[in-house]
A and B are shown apart, each in its own frame.
Chain A
Amino acid sequence: MTPDHQREYQARQRSRAKVTALILGALVILFFFISIAKMS
């Protein structure tokens, strides 16, 4: 296969990794505030 295919493959992996990181970060913040809400 071509270098173009490889570039596209890696670009997809990068964008998925970024979105996953964003979601995990948002969940950390959400769980923090849920814990605070449950304690109050």
Chain B
Amino acid sequence: MSPAAYATAQPLPADWRDFLALTKPRVMTLVVFTGLCGMLAAPTTIHPVLGFTAILCIALGAGAAAALNMWYEADLDAAMKRTRNRPLPAGRMGRQSALHFGVGLGVFSVLLMGLAVNLLAAAILTVSILFYVLVYTVWLKRRTPQNIVIGGAAGAFPPLIGWAAATGRIDILPVLLFILVFLWTPPHFWALSLFVRTDYAAAGVPMMPVVAGPRATRVQVFLYTLPMVAAAIAPWPLGLTGSLYGIAATILSLVFLGLAARVSMSRIEDQALMRDERRLFAFSILYLFALFGVLVADRMLLA
């Protein structure tokens, strides 16, 4: 068979943009930002090239986990309006390509982190990738409405990795940041899943609003916000940050708490009218960016 005849007999190879889409670049921005802030908040400095490499590894690791998530969940993605245009459900890429890409990217990110930065950061990166893929995607997501509570830990690792990359150890502040992101995940995701719950229901994903209903979910959103606020403000009274962070964290957390309280009191059933839930979801993203940004500014002022 001539090369031309062979080519025409084959399906089109996936475009490089589809491989990029597999890494969920928008989710990656938050991961990279929190990882960078964890690194910048550390008391020791890291060589800029090695710092850049560490952040690159965090981004590649997150991209690998996202690619493996899409590989495993292609059937779910096909059933949901929000995700049915992703490369696998849309048929623009074969499943095997996604698997090879995800595994290759994950192994590369861990090896590079271990060789260029340090073994502790590489070990935490490995745990975070495996946690997201095996614990969240494979084990929990289709089985329990608590999926994102436990699975949220996977997204909480980047500040820990950033700190470990700079210092080679783990201290109280990055652990508090881990707890903060861990507790932030349920209100953030449940706010989203409240106004896209028919999508999750259609795909058979047992998200909290699908299983327990909107009312119970709204209460859970508020209940998880309380310890999240405590974790956000805790570094200040513990003497780990200055008053700049303390005041900003208090104000931002009170706004978050107010929005969560409004969501908890809402009785709206029509998803199109869920303005409080959309507002909380949007603010939760701003909240995390602002909190980590102020943390870095505060730590730099203290240094």
Using CB atoms and an 8 Å cutoff, list the residues of chain A in contact with chain B: 1-2, 5-6, 8-10, 12-13, 15-16, 19, 30, 33-34, 36-38, 40
Contact = CB atoms under 8 A, between A and B. Distances in A.
23 contacts: A1-B8, A1-B9, A5-B12, A6-B4, A6-B7, A6-B8, A8-B12, A9-B8, A9-B10, A9-B13, A12-B12, A12-B13, A13-B13, A15-B15, A16-B15, A19-B16, A30-B49, A30-B56, A33-B49, A34-B116, A37-B47, A37-B49, A38-B116
B53 interface: yes
Contacts of A12: 12-15
A15 B53 CA distance: 26
A16 to B, nearest CB: 5
Interface residues of B, number: 16
A5 B14 CA distance: 14
B8 A5 contact: yes
B175 interface: no
Contacts of B47: 37, 40
B116 A9 contact: no
Interface in B14-29: 14-16
A36 to B, nearest CB: 7
Contacts, number: 41
A19 B9 CA distance: 24
B50 interface: yes
Interface string B224-267: 00000000000000000000000000000000000000000000
Nearest to A20: B16
Interface string B43-63: 000010110010010000000
A5 B10 CA distance: 10
B92 to A, nearest CB: 11
Contacts of A38: 50, 116
Given A37-B47, A37-B50, 18 more contacts: A1-B8, A5-B12, A6-B7, A9-B8, A9-B12, A12-B14, A12-B15, A13-B13, A15-B16, A16-B13, A16-B15, A19-B16, A30-B53, A30-B56, A34-B49, A34-B50, A38-B50, A40-B47
A19 to B, nearest CB: 4
A37 B45 CA distance: 13
Q: Which of A6, A36, A37 has the most CB of B within 10 A?
A: A37
Interface in B113-168: 116
A10 B8 CA distance: 10
A2 B50 CA distance: 50
B100 to A, nearest CB: 14
Contacts of B10: 9
A34 B53 contact: yes
A2 B15 CA distance: 19
Nearest to A3: B8
A22 to B, nearest CB: 10
Contacts of B9: 1
A16 B8 CA distance: 18
Q: Return the 9 tightest CB-CB contacts between A and B, nearest first.
A: A1-B8, A37-B49, A19-B16, A9-B7, A37-B47, A33-B49, A34-B116, A12-B13, A6-B8
